[in-house]
Amino acid sequence: MRLLYSIFYFTALCFIAPFEYFKRPKEIRGRWIKERCGFIDARQDTAPRTLVWIHAVSVGETIAVTPFVKKIKEKYPETGIVLSTVTDTGRKVAKERLGSVARIIYVPFDLCFAVRGVIKSLDPALLVIMETELWPNMIGEASKSGVPVMLLNGRISEKSFDGYLKLRFFLKKVLGNVGFFCMQNKVYAERMIALGAAPERVVATGNLKFDTPKPASNPEWTAVLKGPVVIGGSTHRTEEELLLDAYAELKQDFQDLNLVLAPRHPERFKEVEELVMKKGFPLTKRSEIKSPYAAASLSGAVVLLDVIGELSGVYGAADIAVMGGSFIPHGGQNPLEPACWGKTIICGPHMENFPFMPDFYEEGAAVEVRKETLSAELRRLLLSPDNMVSTGEKAKTLYERNSGAIEKTLEIIGRYL
């Protein structure tokens, strides 16, 4: 089965890789193709030491794993860390947040020779895979080389579970090469066992994202925002238009209302900019807001957050956070980032990626709405500041109550170091 998978993967890669190569800036193309083919520089350690290879696919996973990596370095200072990512934005955030404590590389293609090349160069003592990046050759080659594999912060959505069940025979062999599964909750743990993982290797350790510390402060530029602030966080196509239409209605009664749009994918910044202009709103781009910030003032403005890595801090300046990816069948974006600030959270009907959301709704820590009722709910909250504060405080309390996943996971990873 792995052979058939490898043939299919390689065939697809022949069509996809050239596009992925040429869409990148020229200055990083060489490094990208080299590392993705498994050609990375060998370790330069002056003395043998334990090394952990951690794979986090993109920005969200990189941010979630950051405090965990730092805790590993605190508890095991002699342990080396290599962090691999798929996306350029994930690599950029990893460099900014972990560049001083970890080596950052692009993950190799899931081809046997590429994975073997990385394993040979790094000689890791452990491979840690974030969430559910179940790449058969990566896991299989690591196991074949005697490198233990651990799944960290694992999750399996209901939709993914239904798909995986159809591949259970093949997947069971892949899961058999994983030494331990640290799942976000009991539901995910049960699904992993149902797919064929050995029950004694599966444990619910909690969600690392609950342990992600909030930024020390808001970005300085947010001081220019005067008046209520609604943020559309990590939005997807059609959601910006939904927010802009609601904003147009609300502006009639809330002249100083600010709307911050933070598209999930940087390649859509230009598209969203054109949409705002088409709707007839003056637009301020975050990249054009310059210091000194004290001399500037924005009221009743639409702001495009066209930079990477600031959203979690910008939530601290919000009154209401509307979660992107939740008004389309995408599964939603991370509501914990505004929750840690104690901000009011509004979600659409699609938050399947976050199975703890029913707890938020039940305890009044977030509000679920449909597209048709978004504007009315925003109006209700803006007219009831006390309700906004109360909802935000409940979100923060629930966030703090669920922390502790890092310590539980460190106990398990210690068995391998």
Please identify every residue annotated as catalytic.
61
**How remote is the C-alpha of 47 from its chain's centroid?**
35
Short-list 147, 205, 246, 196, CA closest to 411: 205
DSSP bridge pairs for 54: 83, 128
Q: What angle (nearest 5°) sits at the alpha carbon of residue 38, between those of residues 178 and 171?
A: 30
CA atoms within 13 A on the CB side of 24: 16
Task: Give the three-class secondary structure for 4.
Answer: helix
Short-list 127, 272, 413, CA closest to 286: 272
Q: Are 230 and 338 in contact (CB under 8 A)?
A: no
Task: Enter the DSSP assignment of 298.
Answer: B
Rg (the chain; Cα; Å): 22
The tokens of 378 are what?
């925003």
Burial bucket for residue 20 (CB in 10 Å: 0-12, 13-18, 19+): middle
Q: Are 86 and 57 in contact (CB under 8 A)?
A: yes
The tokens of 411 are what?
């106990």
DSSP bridge pairs for 231: 260, 321
Q: Are 17 and 148 in contact (CB under 8 A)?
A: no
Q: Are 115 and 108 in contact (CB under 8 A)?
A: yes
